[in-house]
A = this chain, B = another copy of it.
Amino acid sequence: MKNVDATQDKRRDILEAAEQVFTANGFTAAKMDDIAELAGVAKGTLYLYFDSKQDLFVSLLEDRIWEYVATLTSKLEEVRSVKCFVQTLAKVRGQLFVRNQRLLESLSHSLPNFSKEHRLRIWNLRKGLEEPTIEALARLLPPDHPVAPLKAAAMVNGALDYTVGTLILHGQPVVLEDVARDLEYVLLPGLSQVLGKG
């Protein structure tokens, strides 16, 4: 029991250190040395918990994203209107993005030289990340809305992520309630309108 806990603790320490280092430098420029030092373990210890740098990176993404996907999915299940959807999404995905902005951007960059297995795992993550949004929109959009849920989801997620990213870039504080309000103001009418009205 104690051992399992200790092991989980150390694994978490490493993931946390990896998050910081990968976030700060991107995959290729990140050094295993730095991750080990930040985690307070020896370099060799990293390889007791993860097979390789690639595996550590992908495992980190999985850890962070599956947790988020689970949270978002359950929260969106209770949602009954596009308006409520936008608010919920802004809060949950906004939080993910504030914390993991640079990590998420890594999703695309890390791919090219990865092994087939790791590419597959990343691909699954990328799709999984959009899944809850797409499903919620498929359920909530007016039945004859002309924009496919896949694209609508891309627009909502893109608008949200870019707004948060822009605030960060400009050094402004990110208040997710404000972002939600703006998002709602800009997107809600278009997402709610039915075909005849457009």
Chain A contact residues, CB within 8 Å of chain B:
24-29, 102, 105-106, 108-110, 112-113, 126-127, 130, 146-148, 150-163, 165-167, 169-170, 179, 182-183, 185-191, 193, 198
Chain A interface, DSSP helix/strand/loop, else mixed:
helix
Q: What residues of chain B lie closer than 8 Å to A28, measured between beta carbons?
A: 26-29
Q: What residues of chain B lie closer than 8 Å to A167, measured between beta carbons?
A: 151
Q: Is the CB of B186 within 8 A of A152?
A: yes
A136–chain B nearest beta-carbon distance, Å: 15
A114–chain B nearest beta-carbon distance, Å: 10
Q: Is the CB of A155 within 8 A of B151?
A: no
Q: Is the CB of B185 within 8 A of A187?
A: no
Q: Is the CB of B182 within 8 A of A112?
A: no
Complexed CA–CA distance, A160 and B28 (Å): 28
**Known A26-B110, A28-B28, A105-B109; further 11 A-B contacts with Cβ < 8 A:** A26-B28, A29-B112, A29-B113, A106-B109, A146-B185, A147-B182, A150-B170, A151-B179, A155-B187, A185-B190, A188-B190
